[in-house]
Amino acid sequence: MEQNVQYAQKTGLRYGLELGTAAVLFVAAMAIREPLANGAGSASPLVLALPVVPLWLMFVAIWRHYLRVDEFQRLQFLKVTALAAGIGLFALASLPFLGGFGVPREAGDVLWLVIPVGWVVSLAVVNLNRAR
């Protein structure tokens, strides 16, 4: 029994740690990038592209978690991921039309909000659906 609980805990912990580290790196990269991007315009493209690295680290963390879990968890995880991706995609596609309401037109300005909110909404929807 303990073996199973320990494995589940370890899997969840590892996923949280990997995703959390990538998220912290993303925030740090954005913090470094923003003053440079809004500055004189002489910032290196490499520095400006810095947030791309933690973004893909998040993807790697998600993929590694997908490979670790069993078939039922994988199905649930895929549902959450697909729904979150859909929410994110449509939210970002809506941006250019909402500029009149003061919504930023650049995806990079709202990505930090769209991804976690989309994920939380998807988790809630999939878990509510499963509970029925």
Partner 1 sequence: MYNTIRDLRGQRGLTQAQLADQLGVSRQTVIAVEQGKYDPSLPLAFAIARLFQLPVEEIFRPDGP
Contact residues: partner 1, CB under 8 A:
1, 3-5, 7-8, 69-73, 75, 130
Minimum Å distance from CB 70 to partner 1? 4
Q: What amino acid is encoded at 83 in this protein?
A: L
Closer residue to partner 1, CB minimum distance, 33 or 79: 79
User: What's the longest Cα–Cα distance across the chain?
Assistant: 60
The rounded Cα 50 to chain-centroid distance in angstroms is 16
Minimum Å distance from CB 73 to partner 1? 6
Closer residue to partner 1, CB minimum distance, 8 or 78: 8
Report helix, strand or coil for 108: helix
Minimum Å distance from CB 19 to partner 1? 19
Angle of CA points 61, 22, 58, to nearest 5°: 40
Closer residue to partner 1, CB minimum distance, 69 or 117: 69
Of how many residues is the chain composed?
132
